[in-house]
Amino acid sequence: MQIIKAANFAEEMKNTVEPALDAIKTSGIMPVKDAPEGQGIYYDIYKTPNATAAIVMSHGFSENAEKLKEVIYYMVEKGYRVYAVDHRGHGRSFRQSYHPNLANLHSFYDYVEDLHQFVSLIVKTDTKLPLFIWGHSMGGGIAATYIERYPDDFKKAVLSSPMLKLKLPMPEWITRLFTGLVCLIGRSDTFGPGQSGYKGFEKFEGSSSSNEARFNYYQHKKASTLAFQISATSYGWIYHSVVAIARARSKRACAKIKIPVLILRCTQDALIDPSGLDQFAKNTRRCKIVDFDNSRHEIYNSDDAVIAAYYNTIFSFLER
């Protein structure tokens, strides 16, 4: 597989990747619980010619399907049909917050049920191909919870820097207690501690990406598109997420997983506590962790050498 080189990244994405994907893409809006009339969950379908299997994509916090264009391109090039959603509160999907830059949540399991509805009503009526799931960060937490609740939908799961335990400024139980109390007094849909609205082009230093060309490519899209400018979590999002991912890595939940799981973990992750990934892997019968050096949280936005190893690892796992 040919990796898009960082040296000419923006040019290659504009001239090669985006036209190729647009040629096979269809999009839609799926009505879901809580969504106002005419709104719902945005999705893209990439109908790869002669596909041998299909992959459902689950993006991370503050992201959307648009940010995964390079990931999707490699999936398509390897012969997979691809299905990608914008989770509720993100991208082109409906919002549950008073502020356009704030991701609010009534229940983490709404993410999971939206995705299950998408798989049941859209994916499975569109294809009979074997199904895999790929999830990054928050989307990895959603994917992990999904395969616990619905263990028969997918053949394999790839979890990239999955949100199974967050690095928090205080112990997890204190975070849960504090944010839960804030929600009880009616402030769930307010900016979490130290967070604020979108302030424009972000700085590469300290970001979740370790390759500046890949980082800048999406930053330009985010700066020019209001729907992509999610920048903060609400107290409700923090509370419901922390509670749900603690359950997702428990023995009881992991015991329900029937399929092989691959966890891709970077060694310089500023957001995810690696002990949570170890706990999940220990409690899951067929789970393997592969670590990547010289990368940050978004492994798929790394330098070329890491990118090549990342996709080789994924495709070897899926094709075995």
Average pLDDT score over the chain: 97
Q: Is the pLDDT of residue 22 over 90?
A: yes
Instruction: For the chain, give the secondary structure using H, E and C.
Output: CCCCCHHHHHHHHHHHHHHHHHCCEEEEEECCCCCCCCCCEEEEEECCCCCCEEEEEECCCCCCHHHHHHHHHHHHHCCEEEEEECCCCCCCCCCCCCCCCEECCCCHHHHHHHHHHHHHHHHHHHCCCCEEEEEECHHHHHHHHHHHHCCCCCCEEEEECCCCCECCCCCHHHHHHHHHHHHHCCCCCCECCCCCCCCCCCCCCCCCCCCHHHHHHHHHHHHHCHHHCCCEEEHHHHHHHHHHHHHHCCHHHHCCCCCCEEEEEECCCCCECHHHHHHHHHHCCCEEEEEECCCCCCHHHCCHHHHHHHHHHHHHHHHC
Cα angle 134, 59, 281 (rounded to 5 degrees) comes to 50
CB atoms within 10 A of CB 36: 9
In a domain, 125, yes or no: yes
The predicted model gives 128-133 an average pLDDT of 98
In a domain, 1, yes or no: no
The enclosing domain of 255 has a CATH number of: 3.40.50.1820
pLDDT digits (tens, 9 = 90+) for 66-80: 999 999 999 999 999
pLDDT digits (tens, 9 = 90+) for 85-115: 999 999 999 999 999 999 999 999 999 999 9
* Domain tally, the chain: 1
- Please report the pLDDT score of residue 1 as a whole number: 80
- Please report the pLDDT score of residue 194 as a whole number: 92
Predicted TM-score of the model (pTM): 0.98
- Please report the pLDDT score of residue 257 as a whole number: 98
pLDDT digits (tens, 9 = 90+) for 236-264: 999 999 999 999 999 999 999 999 999 99
Q: Is the pLDDT of residue 170 over 90?
A: yes
Give residue for tokens 């229940």.
Answer: 107
- Please report the pLDDT score of residue 221 as a whole number: 96
CA dist., res. 85 & res. 224, Å (int):
20
- Percent over 90 (pLDDT), the chain: 98
Q: Domain containing 177: what range? A: 6-319
- Please report the pLDDT score of residue 118 as a whole number: 98
